[in-house]
Structure 1
Amino acid sequence: MLFDQSTQSSYLQCFNGLGNLFNPDSLWPFTSIKSTASLRVGILPLFEKWVHALDAVVLYDSLASKIPLDEQIASWSYEAQELFFVSVNIIPTESFVKKLISLSKGQYLQSDNDLLALRADFDQPCKAKVEKILFDQDVVQLKFIEDLYLTIGSEIIREFGILIQQKTSGLYSNTNTVLGDQLFIGESVDMDCVTLNTKMGPIYIDDGAVIMEGSNLRGPLYIGKNAVVKMGATIYSNVSIGDYAVVGGEISNSSIGDFSAKGHYGYLGCSVVGDWCNLGAGTTNSNLKNNLSSVKLYDYMSDSLRDTGLMKCGLFMGDFTRTGIQSMFNTGTVIGMGCMLSITGFYPKFVSSFTWLYNEGKGTYQLQKFVSDLEVVFLSKNRKLDKKLIERIIEINQSTFKN
């Protein structure tokens, strides 16, 4: 079971005061409508990483879930032998998983006063003797939004080694040029006259993807199911492209969410773009300051700028945001969800959710119009806007974080 500060479970109440719990608000705007567990880092979302790591049923808070977590736990208690709680922002590594499964009932892992994991008793969660076990090794975890791109390459490398043991790579045309031997091709992939360099890391192309001619790809790289890479695209290392996404131009060290489009020329680097976004032709971001000083990012929790300590840091854009042509984003820009952006010149370093920016001024993307427009966008991809998602959008629109 993956948990955070907002998780509602009687099991966690038994372990109050054992350490700090992860606050998903630190990953806003990307956790605004989805659980941290659903965030893709590399090839797989976090919850699927744990499925592979433990070969277990993984439960977590989800917008789509209709059953409370404790009821889900109870329904599995007849089949499962062990119940572990793991902080949702942790990426499973061999050393952490080994330490986790060695826990006895009532033992919990802590590092720097953070509660990382615990093993509970199905029947008597509050009666087990509590014992702290310190985890003194490095923990790979998502603490801030920049971690969503910083961990892409290492995760693709790690997951590639796991996934290729379970699947057989498909064939590809001899019109393609492949350097190295770390290439996986899924089913029904359409690819001709493409250069793929896997010497620096693996390339994993998922089922149904279309890679158009003239594209140059360098690993570590993940291209999601039914994604499209347009002609002449240049994609460097450490890039993850979501399902049904469309990409073109130049991309490096970045994550692009499901159903998002960066289909034209322009540079995207050291950046994270959420789901269902659209970057107009020529949209480009900077990821390096001219004076080479460290980059500061807007932080939702403190409502202030936070020094990342990084020299390179680009654009962070929440779900459902769209930009006009030739849009320009400065180093370390954070954009909320549901924005409509159409100005010439650089955008502000922070734009709150549901903002409509244009050359003549600034307005609010009215909720009714936003939902109506979003329904059209979903229909264009043969999808239907879910009622629960609409309710969550309304909730966010009325929250303080939109500001």
Structure 2
Amino acid sequence: MIVFYDDARARRFEPFATTRPLCEMRSGALLQRERWCQVLGARAVGFVSSPHLDGFEEMDAPARFPGSITAGTWLVNTRAMPTLLPVKSTATVLSIDHQVAAVKLAAPVTPEQLQDAMFALEDVLPSTGSMSNIPGAWLENVWDFVSHLQTTLLTDIPALVEILGAKPLDAGTATVLGGHGVFVEEGATVEPQVVFDTAAGPVLLRKGATVQAFSRVAGPCFVGRDSTIVGGRMAGCSIGDVCRVSGEISASILVGHANKGHDGFVGHSVLGRWVNLGAGTTTSNLKNTYGTVSLWTPDGVQDTKLQFLGTMFGDQAKTGIGLRLTTGCVVGAGANVFDTMPPKAVAPFSWGSAAPYGSFAVDQFVDMAERMMARRQLLMTDGARSWWRQVHSVASADTRWPRR
């Protein structure tokens, strides 16, 4: 069994920490939860994170772990991103870059211990057993989802091809350039007049994925279950399940159930779950000065040291048609913005055509979210409605966000 722990740093990965534990974020081709389950060969039974995430529920995601974590359970730091290889060692402590990433508990850990975000896995190292250093990387900052994306996809996709038994795309189905290959899980569809460019890395299409005619897909690229590429150019992306993508998109992550179904450029960005970008929405991912990009964080604006960085869209964020977003923008969860270019940071549940924004009323937000889910044949439960109301209240009162 695995329980995931968000430490103090993970709990500040905004705009996503407002609405989801870090184990439900996509890194490379997989959610962090899926990655660790594959590496450890064990099932996830819960997470421990900020109190406002009590009540979080999402499809097959485990809920907040309710009590003491028993001995024999793996406790995992969710900022650790292991390479997608099964751990063959019998070690009870796993490290990445010689920093403790996971511990197989020798004694129970209480909820009171984990409630403190300053708790560290080093505090519960077993007195016996061994440590194994495994390959991988650490998510030190929220923009590391973007900075690690290309290298992670290059190791994830070959591993997943083997795990899933995906097959090379039949010759003649599409035009394939480069030598890394295109791999498809049974049930994926590729229409005629598609071009795959695998010069920089492979492409993997999961079951139910569709690439429509007149699309150009450049690797490394992952397309999740039941997602559709409806035309345009896509390069170096990780597209989660049940997404719809068109236009031009590069080096970006869609966590899942997101919609970028029209023209417009999105680059070096992360789209949370249930994000919808209006037609023509365009992100800037490179400054006119070609300098490094700064990003708003709960600890102030920080220099990311990245030359390319677009927008971080929180869960359920929405943009109007033709919206332009500045380099290194953060759009909070549930925000609905349109018309005028937003400032560098938009607070959660903002509403309007220009700053200072109004508030997206909670009843209207919940109704909208429920309607959007219904379009994907998913029903919002009473528990989820109640939880979203709780999150709306907490986030609307969060003084860390600029409100101008």
Contact 2:5–2:75 at 8 Å: present in 1 too?
A: no
TM-score, with structure 2 as normaliser = 0.82
In structure 1, the partner of 2:392 is 397
- Could you tell me how far 1:96 is from its partner in structure 2? 11
- State how many pairs are aligned: 371
How far 1:356 moved relative to its partner? 0.6
Mapped contact 1:2–1:87 kept (Cα < 8 A)? no
Letter in 1 for 2:20: K
**Which amino acid in the other structure matches residue 35 of structure 2?**
K
Aligned residue among 264, 272, 292 for 1:266: 264
Asked whether 1:241 is paired with 2:239, we answer yes
Structure 1 length normalisation: TM-score?
0.82
Q: Is the Cα contact below 8 Å between 2:349 and 2:359 reproduced in 1?
A: yes
Aligned residue number for residue 336 of structure 2: 340
Root-mean-square deviation (CA, aligned residues, Å) is 3.2
Alignment-derived partner of residue 91 in structure 1: 81
Aligned residue for 1:213? 213
Question: Residue 155 of structure 1: which of 152, 157, 169 is its match?
Answer: 152
Q: Is 1:41 equivalent to 2:24 in the alignment?
A: no
Instruction: For residue 210 of structure 1, report the CA deviation from its aligned partner.
Output: 1.5
Q: How does 1:17-96 map to 2 (within 5 A)?
A: 21-61=7-47, 63-64=56-57, 65=62, 68=65, 70=67, 74=70, 82-93=72-83
> Is the partner of 1:165 in helix, strand or coil?
helix
SS at 2:104's partner residue? Answer: strand
Task: For residues 1-45 of structure 1, give each alpha carbon's deviation from its aligned partner in whole angstroms, at most 9, with x where no partner exists.
Answer: 34335xxxxxxxxxxxxxxx4532221222322221111112211
Aligned partner of 1:365 among 360, 368, 373: 360
| 1:330 and 1:349 in contact (8 A); partners too | yes
Partner residue of 2:295 out of 291, 294, 297: 297
Q: Greater CA radius of gyration, 1 or 2?
A: 1
What per-residue deviation string (whole Å, max 9, x for no partner) do you get for residues 40-69 of structure 1?
112211121122212223333183346845
CA contact 2:283–2:325 (8 Å) conserved in 1: yes
Q: Which residue of 2 aligns with 1:325?
A: 321
- Mind listing any 5+ residue stretches in structure 2 that lack a counterpart? 49-55, 111-122
Q: Per the alignment, in what secondary structure is the counterpart of residue 376 of structure 1?
A: helix
Determine what percentage of the aligned residue pairs are the same residue: 26
**2:375 aligned residue:** 380
Superposed counterparts of 1:90-239, under 5 Å: 90-93=80-83, 101-103=90-92, 115-121=100-106, 130=127, 140-166=137-163, 167-169=165-167, 172=170, 174-179=172-177, 180-192=179-191, 193-231=193-231, 233-237=232-236, 239=237
Residue 282 of structure 1 corresponds to which residue in structure 2?
A: 280
The one-letter code sitting in structure 2 at the alignment partner of 1:117 is A
Greater length-normalized contact order (CA 8 Å, ≥ 6 residues apart): 2
State the Cα distance separating 1:175 from its structure 2 match: 4.1
Structure 1: 5+ residue runs without aligned partners?
6-20
Listed one character per residue, the Cα deviations across residues 333-378 of structure 1 (whole Å, up to 9, x for unaligned) are 000011111113x211100001012159631101111111111111
Please give the alpha-carbon distance, in whole angstroms, between the structure 1 residues aligned to 2:376 and 2:249: 24
Q: Write the letter of the residue equivalent to 1:102.
A: A
Equivalent-residue separation in structure 2 for 1:317 and 1:115 (angstroms): 30
